[in-house]
Structure 1
Amino acid sequence: MKKFLQAFMTCFVIISFAQNKEVIKFRGNITNNSEGSAYKFLTVLDQREDKSIGTLPFGETKEMKEVVFPTTPSNDFGSWYTKSNYQGGGFEFILILKRLKLSVGETVGKNTEGKMDFSAQTFLKDGDQYHFLYKKDTVFSFSNKEVSEFMVKNIPTIYSIFIKKSYEIKPTEKSVVFADLKDYETFAKNNYEVFKGDQLKDGIYLDHQSFFNQVPEQGNYVLERNDKGEVTKAIKEENGKKNKISAFKIFAYVENGKAYKKTMSGFVELNRNEKGFYIISNKGSLFPVQSNSTYGMFGLIGGIAGAIEENSRQKKMQKQDKEEVHIDSLTGEYDFQDSEI
């Protein structure tokens, strides 16, 4: 009888504990289909200052439940990777968790607003050296009738998009040691040539790394413009041969010490303040045509269920006031502080 009561109480405690938890389900896959480096396995470094994800209302009764990982982030992501990929390769894929916080806001009509504060970084580990791959630091905004369930359901989706994007990125040539991972963003910024002086080198830059390291394309390139004065290409003549680079392939160019950034609507002036480099624009101008709800959150990749109706969202974006939109020095992407899901 005593053993029966002990077993009963154990089951009761387990069931009671589970009822107050909402467990993240790692569905889908994070298969590496890129032609880049193959990884032996995925390792998580959990650098979150606050390990709690959030306690939110669920179901018709709005029962408060704590959102949790099934076991631990390291075990859960590692198992997810192993199920999605064949083991092999000579490198280790490092996922650094910086922030993952969920919160629920006001209810407007039938839908309730929700926020996901998301920050993560990825690195390729080769021996004891780490090469940066990708990062995302933003707050995703949700609107759904069952917003708590909707946000939890999409946690694996967002991580999947983020990780698959990382697979496609060429690792930085410069490596760092483990100690530098604690605040890699500050470390990298302090080592970029562009932040060490006020004068920019004239020339064309094909990617963000060459711009922030101030290494323009070699040779004397001349910018060619159309009748409207818009840059269409850069041309270098050398040894009787012409080398042409389309404006589409140029990340930015510097002329007479002034930088201009390529956008979908042409080149715009690139300014600088204490936070870094920025342009004056808005999402509607930078992303005039979108086919999913993530509008650029991962470089125009991925889609999430429950997307907001495209036309109404696009009109809303175009009406937004123009503001300072910074260029992320680690990724070259537009650094929006929020993204709508």
Structure 2
Amino acid sequence: MLSVFLSAQKNQFIELRNSIKDKNHTAQSLTLLDRREDKNIGIVSHRKEPFEIKFEKDDLEKLFSDWFLEDNKERGNTQYFLMLEHLKANDIPAERSVTGHLEMKMSTFLKKNNQYYFLKKFNVSKDYPQKDHAYITRAIAAKISSELANIVKDSYSESALNIPISETDLENYEKAIPEQLPVYKTESFTDGVYKDYKSFAEQTPSKELTVKKNKDGVIKGVKRVDGYDNLGRDVFAIIDNGIAYKKTPVSIIEIEKDDEGVFIMASEEELFPQNNTYTISGAAMGGLIGGLVGGIIDATTSAIRRKNAKYFRIGIDKLTGEYILPENFRKSK
């Protein structure tokens, strides 16, 4: 019976057809590092027929290298590496049908002087109900292909974290890199304005921007050091008098630190505002940056803020700066 099942089983191939062209011609190569414990992706059903999700060829390193070379005839000197850490697809039985499910984790690095530098990482966890997809297996294969292409293309323009790791440390990069980042190595924060997470993690504040306060010392936003403050720029964080504040769409919230890393205590409304009382239209006017509201961190406002919302511990990913939402956190609709 097993042999009959295997012979009847069909394949759904992942076709690497999406463009991964490097428009700036800085990339020299793309090498796949397949670090999956189990190389089998899985079996997903379409109209009760089992399809095994597979790449087009078994030699994946050559498959990915050929994909890159096909799209990049003119090349530079930067060696890129795509590490495939996890890739699984399977059926989830439902009452009247079967739902397809995809789990995927990958990261990218560049290589200089025989050392690796982190660029990006990405996780996918997605269900494919039959009612939403005419052909679930094709949808899953297309998703895998598109996400692989997206992370490669995004990596071309990504600025690497300035923490070198060896090839042996790649297996444990999510621990090895943060251990060397200044924001986690030191107890105190360096004052200044941080445009993005990378600069915050490396504790290298902007030389162009500074904190803007009113006469009472209340943070009003940020401004350019040359005095001009008609900015439309957003920022990742502000550190003032050793206290770090995370920029959200409608406020700035103190960044706290513990043994697990850095985090904020925030409500759903502050991270994903939808007609809430904190939203102020035109907040970028008068030198305010995209919702950095004057007085948002004074004692009275903080007390009202704490009273009127449910708060969650929102972790900040040590490599990307993205929010790590708790399981009971639900984005407001």
Letter in 1 for 2:233: F
Structure 1 residues 219 and 54: CA distance shift in structure 2, 3 A? closer
Structure 1 distance, partners of 2:111, 2:209, is 37
Contact 2:90–2:102, Cα closer than 8 Å, also in 1: yes
Tell me what 2:287 maps to.
Answer: none
Tell me what 2:107 maps to.
Answer: 121
Structure 1 residues 100 and 32: CA distance shift in structure 2, 3 A? same
Letter in 2 for 1:261: K
Count of aligned pairs between the two proteins: 286
Query: SS where residue 215 of structure 1 aligns?
Result: coil
Tell me what 1:324 maps to.
Answer: 313
Tell me what 1:162 maps to.
Answer: 151
Letter in 1 for 2:236: F
Runs of at least 5 residues in structure 1 that lack an aligned partner in the other structure: 1-12, 290-320
Is residue 51 of structure 2 the alignment partner of residue 65 of structure 1? yes
Is residue 118 of structure 2 the alignment partner of residue 132 of structure 1? yes
Runs of at least 5 residues in structure 2 that lack an aligned partner in the other structure: 275-309
Structure 1 residues 56 and 114: CA distance shift in structure 2, 3 A? closer
Task: Give the CA RMSD over aligned residues.
Answer: 3.5
Tell me what 2:302 maps to.
Answer: none
Structure 1 distance, partners of 2:28, 2:209, is 44
Which stretch of structure 1 is more off in the superposition, 256-265 or 40-49? 256-265
Structure 1 distance, partners of 2:246, 2:177, is 21
Letter in 2 for 1:176: I
What is the TM-score when the length of structure 1 is the normalising length?
A: 0.71
Contact 2:22–2:153, Cα closer than 8 Å, also in 1: yes
Contact 2:193–2:205, Cα closer than 8 Å, also in 1: yes
What is the TM-score when the length of structure 2 is the normalising length?
A: 0.72
Structure 1 residues 219 and 91: CA distance shift in structure 2, 3 A? closer
Tell me what 1:22 maps to.
Answer: 12
Query: SS where residue 248 of structure 1 aligns?
Result: coil
Post-superposition offset of 1:51: 1.6
Query: SS where residue 32 of structure 1 aligns?
Result: coil
Deviations 1:208-240 (A, max 9, x none): 12222223345994423699x77332454xxxx
Structure 2 distance, partners of 1:194, 1:124, is 22
Is residue 171 of structure 2 the alignment partner of residue 182 of structure 1? yes
Letter in 1 for 2:70: K
Structure 1 residues 248 and 124: CA distance shift in structure 2, 3 A? same
Structure 2 distance, partners of 1:272, 1:141, is 34
Tell me what 2:39 maps to.
Answer: 51
Contact 1:93–1:125, Cα closer than 8 Å, also in 2: yes
Query: SS where residue 49 of structure 1 aligns?
Result: coil
Tell me what 1:74 maps to.
Answer: 61
Query: SS where residue 117 of structure 1 aligns?
Result: strand
Query: SS where residue 149 of structure 1 aligns?
Result: helix
Identity of aligned residues (%): 28
Structure 1 distance, partners of 2:93, 2:326, is 20
